[in-house]
Amino acid sequence: MIESHDVLIVGGGLVGASLAIALDRLGLDVGLVEATPAGEMPAVFDQRNLSFAATTVNALTALGVMAKLRAPAGPIRRIHISRQGDFGRVKLDAAEYGRDSFGQVVVARDFGDALEARLDELSSLTRYRPARFVGFGAMEDQQRQVRIVDTTGERTLHARLVVAADGTRSGVREALGIAADEHDYRQTLFVARVRAERVPDGTAYERFCNDGPTALLPRGDRHFGVVHGVASEHVDAVTGLDDGAWLARIQKIFGWRVGRLLSSGPRSTYPIARVVARRLHSERAVLLGNAAQTIHPIGAQGFNLGLRDALTLAEMVQRGGDPGSAALLSAYAARRAEDRQRTLDFSDGLARLTANPAPLLRPLRSLGLLAADASPSLQSLLVGSAMGFRGDVPVLCRESAA
């Protein structure tokens, strides 16, 4: 018996699971290839802090995911941006734009549990787990043959459209022969939960330093999420710090904006690299999320961009016809071009500019911060970007859909 699907998603992480939920309402036969067995979570659903832009919150609310969160999310009502050693800062307040918040902070593990709860409710989803993609077979009757390995051995699936949502080192992208451009930022992110004298009041702090960005994010559990960029040559030294020295390091960067930092949870590390696919699609296959572009996490753009990839694809498939047609995939790539390029340019440019220690750049950066803080038009651009309103935004991302 041939197992055939309208859409086969390879990768059950943040973007792949979200796409499966978005497609369920369309009456399509969808398959999801997941590396982890039932009852376990992919490694991506850990204790890192995810900053959901307003567009992401809107969409996940409409898809019924936000209602499944068991832990409270932390609203981002204000954003405070500065750079260590430079003067000037930018302060953004959602209330000045008639909004309650710019977005929300969600712990990845909690989000994974919410996605799993929604996946369990889907009526037309076949889950292959644990399973891994091993390659493609022949093209047959306008379907791709996809070879996977699971607990029973190797098997072949058929799909009119194959979606690569299998992460930065995408096996599907490699099998399609799609090249990617890479840049190593030589930075590693340390992520942890910390408790401070003052509980979060909805302010997210982003502090740029020579070694990379550091952020304090208002979580919903009365703690802050710390995201701390460290130059590669200093990673071992920071890893070896005890909790007191670690907290003192973060305190030195932020000063006393939230009072004394009192305690820290375990630290996780994530090397930072930019990996950008040169094409988004091939015959009956398309790349989404980190498989399409893995970007610097500065400004928390990565997952938000990947979700807009997924929702745009679902929206175009909803119009009917062949979901894997060359015309649909070309139109998808064209529609995603502006949002994708602007986000790539923003994250890469900001990462390079803010980490550059050249003395001549310091007054220029300071003037830029002062100008942005004083200019309503520049602030509006920053606010629009922070909330995810770039290019042709998917319908579910718009507030009226939430």
Q: Is the pLDDT of residue 360 over 50?
A: no
> Is residue 246 within 8 Å of 257, Cβ to Cβ?
no
Where is pLDDT greater, at 374 or 110?
110
Side-chain-facing half-sphere of 310: CA atoms under 13 Å: 34
Residue 334 φ/ψ, nearest 5 degrees: -65, -40
Q: Which of the four pLDDT bands, split at 50, 70 and 90, describes residue 25?
A: confident
Share of the chain above pLDDT 70, in %: 88
List the alpha helices (DSSP H) in 166-301.
171-175, 235-239, 243-254
> Is residue 97 within 8 Å of 91, Cβ to Cβ?
no
Q: Is the pLDDT of residue 378 over 70?
A: no
Q: Which of the four pLDDT bands, split at 50, 70 and 90, describes residue 266?
A: very high
Q: Give the tens place of pLDDT for each residue, 134-153.
A: 999 999 889 999 999 999 99
Side-chain-facing half-sphere of 81: CA atoms under 13 Å: 21
Amino acid identity, position 49: N
What pLDDT is stored for residue 156 in this prediction? 96
Report the C-alpha gap between 53 and 174 in whole angstroms: 30
Share of the chain above pLDDT 90, in %: 68
- Topology adopted by domain 3-182+272-401: FAD/NAD(P)-binding domain (3.50.50)
DSSP for 334-358 reads HHHHHHHHHHHHHHHHHHHHHH---
Can you tell me whether residue 71 is helix, strand or coil?
coil
Report the C-alpha gap between 392 and 339 in whole angstroms: 7
The residues with which 268 forms a beta bridge, in sequence order, are 191
Residue 29's contacts (CB-CB under 8 Å, 6 or more residues apart) are 4, 5, 6, 7, 124, 126
> Is residue 136 within 8 Å of 75, Cβ to Cβ?
no
Q: Give the tens place of pLDDT for each residue, 393-402.
A: 899 998 754 4
Domain boundaries, the chain: 3-182+272-401
What pLDDT is stored for residue 1 in this prediction? 64
Residue 376 φ/ψ, nearest 5 degrees: -60, -35
H or E segment to which residue 107 belongs: strand 103-107
Which of 43-57, 99-113, 158-172, 349-363 shows the lowest per-residue confidence on average (mean pLDDT)?
Answer: 349-363
Identify the residue whose tokens are 């799993």.
116
Q: Is the pLDDT of residue 351 over 50?
A: yes
Q: Is the pLDDT of residue 198 over 70?
A: yes
What pLDDT is stored for residue 40 in this prediction? 85
Q: Give the tens place of pLDDT for each residue, 232-255.
A: 999 999 999 999 999 999 999 989
Amino acid identity, position 290: N
Q: Is the pLDDT of residue 19 over 80?
A: yes
Determine how many CB atoms are found less than 10 A away from the CB of residue 51: 26
Report the C-alpha gap between 84 and 208 in whole angstroms: 6
